[in-house]
A and B are shown apart, each in its own frame.
Chain A
Amino acid sequence: MKRAVAVALLLGAVLPGGCRKKAPVSGNLNVANKVAVRMVRLYFESPQMQLVAEPRNIALPESPAAAMPVVVRELMKGPIAAGGKSLRLFPADTVVRGTYLLPGGTVVVDLGGTTLSQGWGTGSHQELLAAYSLVQTLTANFADAKRVRIVVNGSPAETLAGHVSLSRSLVPAPALVDAR
């Protein structure tokens, strides 16, 4: 609500000078920013070395586009379930710079952080599961998300760690997910 008021005030103050009249946005921003607690499924590595879901209740904006970065940031925190045995896949210093839902179902996920920026030294298994944990988490929780395109520090990247091609979008790979 605060944001909506701020935006409306700013637009009201600014646009008449530069353009003509303020955009009618405040009511819609209320809807976009409505927050509710929702259970999401975050995918980490199981001891059997497959992706396994950890359910987690988090406060999410109603709008999928606004909720996606929240979910991805939650994924980057790693598993927290009490007694859980699943494991974090991304480096702990990974930063989620943004996620963008584009028409047609492509989600662009912009990652950063020291390790990904300076060269992540890991094997194909961890890199593969990390990339697909993002794909699986987004596509499992958002019907609008069909595929994921990963960029690093705002630019297209070849790979995260020298193996998995990021030059195209990734779609879910059920073979990597623990079906149990």
Chain B
Amino acid sequence: MKRLLSLGILAVLAAASIVLAQTSGQGTLRTATGDQPFTFVLQSGQTYVNAEQVTAGLGGTLAPDSSGFRVTIGSATAAFGPDSRYGVVRDDLIEMPVPPISIEGAPYVPWQFFQGFLAKAASLDVTWDAGTKQLSVKPLQRDAVGVQVSVADVQGISKIVLTLSAPAEYGIVKEPQAYVVRFRVPVRAPFGEQAYEDPHISRVSFTGSDLRIHLTGADVAGDAYQLENPPRIVLDFRKGAAPVPGAPALPVPAPAREVPGIRTIVIDPGHGGREVGAVGPNGLMEKDVTLAISRKLAASLSNKLGARVVLTRDDDSVVSLDQRTALANQYKADLFLSVHMNAAVVKDAKGSETYFLSLEASDELAKKAAESENASAGSNPNADLNLILWDLAHQAYVGESSRFAQAIQEEMNAATAVANRGVKQAPFKVLVGATMPAALVEVGFISNPEEEAKLQSEEFQNLMVETLTKAVQRYKTDYETRIGVIQPAPAPAATTTTAPATTPAPKPATAPAPAAPQTRTER
């Protein structure tokens, strides 16, 4: 059966090899362990390599699957199929210039398959030299990566953010009273050693490509995740883990930190610039309504909650989805709300709905990746822990995001005649990677002419602003009550629907904001 399967796949691969084969020959696979011969074919300007021979030369195995071939090298598995110029490693695509082919019953892949596979799975660089006919495999040659370190106490959690000048491979090793971020590339360190007045982190030091985070006690536990744009590694430390046996406990300095709570809120007006979003039947553009409501909402939140509010855009400009979340993380926001208008093909669709992030697909695959990473770490006696968890930054905030979304939707239901479409989860890009409770509200259906007219009206926009302000205030009160913060006197009930837009908001005593980019507005 397996043989039949293999023959079937090869038959489809062969169908892709209609183009004239021009030259073939013997190449040399050059790795750190020596040279291995393999067969290659040059066809229509593309070099294809014998997948089985190259895989074997790399110490791996190639096996047929119901829909292609699996290549396993070490603990990493990649796959390719007939007719497809995409391979896959974990949930990441490997792009090839052309699909694989079959020659003499053997699968041949563009040499770029191995380049993509090994770069993504093993930090190895694969190059093909047509002159010498060498396929070389060596560690990725990169310039030294710059690392900036910032430490902040966020709601009782010590958060250390390592901002990298470029993406870099790394592992995290747990020592009795330290965590070591072990970069696999040269590092440009901003300092040799620096002390911090932090409840969980005493100092940070660099030794070669190792960044060592010294903890204040053996009972401090860490968690880590990655963020993109710019590439960052974030480690959260808190008390709670059992002391590592044999590790002396250090006295913990008295915490001197700010009162936690909802202090900084990022409001994200959806779309902008050439990305107009949905357009109503009478021409109203989503990007314009989101900006109008968000501006008013920012002013309202500043005035009524005393919050520091940041807009991801304050004009008709394009802001990438990654940038929006990155901005919220950069400002260490306590809350993120993306404002949108909905659209549907159902003409009379109406109502509001509120989303928070679901990562169903990512969860499953990331767990497998983490298991794989942890299994690899387990085989290394120096690695007690490996915390590379892809971009599951938001996981820790899903529960709070759900509460936040619920508060928004309930206030929308109570205050407006807009139909209730409920609280939902979806893998929305703008919510991915937010390291705070985050939600996306769809205020109404701009595709419905009746709702389009409402969304355009000042009166309805003001009602939405008032409603969303109440929702944020309600969530803030709920959250701060749950974490035991003494509440200030409640804000007076809103008597007007639009707050002045120019009143500056007080800033928190700590967590200073980075310089605001020109396109951001802080209120």
B194 CB to closest chain A CB, in angstroms? 35
Interface set, chain A 92-148, CB cutoff 8 A to B: 98, 100-104, 106, 108, 119, 121-126, 128, 144, 147
Q: Is the CB–CB distance between B67 and A162 below 8 Å?
A: no
Describe B's contact surface by its main secondary structure: mixed
**How does the 8 Å CB contact mask read for A7-32 relative to B, with 1 for contact and 0 for none?**
10011001101111101110111011
**Residue B57 lies at the interface, judged by CB distance under 8 Å to chain A:** no
**How does the 8 Å CB contact mask read for A46-79 relative to B, with 1 for contact and 0 for none?**
0101000000000000011100000000000000
CA distance A104 to B12 in the complex (A): 18
CA distance A6 to B17 in the complex (A): 12
Contacts of B84 in A (CB 8 A): 98, 100-102, 108
CA distance A123 to B65 in the complex (A): 39
Q: Is the CB–CB distance between B345 and A87 below 8 Å?
A: yes
**Residue A164 lies at the interface, judged by CB distance under 8 Å to chain B:** yes
Interface set, chain B 261-306, CB cutoff 8 A to A: 270-271, 274-279, 286
**Residue B130 lies at the interface, judged by CB distance under 8 Å to chain A:** no
CA distance A164 to B425 in the complex (A): 11
CA distance A63 to B81 in the complex (A): 13
Contacts of A119 in B (CB 8 A): 274-276
Q: Is the CB–CB distance between B14 and A25 below 8 Å?
A: yes
**Residue B26 lies at the interface, judged by CB distance under 8 Å to chain A:** no
Q: Interface size for chain B: under 10, 10 to 19, 20 to 34, or 35 or more residues?
A: 35 or more
Contacts of B321 in A (CB 8 A): 158-159, 162
Q: Is the CB–CB distance between B66 and A124 below 8 Å?
A: no
Taking each of A49, A103, A122, A154, which has the highest tally of chain B beta carbons within 10 Å of its own beta carbon?
A: A103
Contacts of A158 in B (CB 8 A): 320-321, 429
A123 CB to closest chain B CB, in angstroms? 3
Q: Is the CB–CB distance between A65 and B67 below 8 Å?
A: yes
**Residue A153 lies at the interface, judged by CB distance under 8 Å to chain B:** no
Q: Is the CB–CB distance between A123 and B345 below 8 Å?
A: no
Describe A's contact surface by its main secondary structure: mixed
**Residue A38 lies at the interface, judged by CB distance under 8 Å to chain B:** no
With contact pairs A164-B427, A169-B365 given, residues A124 and B340 touching in the complex (Cβ less than 8 Å): yes
Q: Interface size for chain A: under 10, 10 to 19, 20 to 34, or 35 or more residues?
A: 35 or more
Which residue of chain A has its CB nearest to the CB of B39? Answer: A19
Contacts of A14 in B (CB 8 A): 18, 20-21
CA distance A147 to B93 in the complex (A): 13
Q: Is the CB–CB distance between B440 and A32 below 8 Å?
A: no
**Residue B405 lies at the interface, judged by CB distance under 8 Å to chain A:** no
Which residue of chain A has its CB nearest to the CB of B342? Answer: A123
Contacts of B17 in A (CB 8 A): 11, 15, 23
With contact pairs A45-B345, A64-B67, A162-B270 given, residues A123 and B93 touching in the complex (Cβ less than 8 Å): no
**Residue B69 lies at the interface, judged by CB distance under 8 Å to chain A:** yes
With contact pairs A123-B277, A123-B341 given, residues A7 and B14 touching in the complex (Cβ less than 8 Å): yes
Q: Is the CB–CB distance between A126 and B345 below 8 Å?
A: yes
With contact pairs A123-B341, A123-B442, A164-B426 given, residues A101 and B81 touching in the complex (Cβ less than 8 Å): yes
Contacts of B355 in A (CB 8 A): 124
With contact pairs A23-B102, A168-B362 given, residues A103 and B66 touching in the complex (Cβ less than 8 Å): yes
CA distance A106 to B8 in the complex (A): 19
**Residue A42 lies at the interface, judged by CB distance under 8 Å to chain B:** no
**Residue B344 lies at the interface, judged by CB distance under 8 Å to chain A:** yes
**Residue A40 lies at the interface, judged by CB distance under 8 Å to chain B:** no
With contact pairs A31-B8, A103-B67, A173-B360 given, residues A164 and B428 touching in the complex (Cβ less than 8 Å): yes
Which residue of chain B has its CB nearest to the CB of A85? Answer: B346
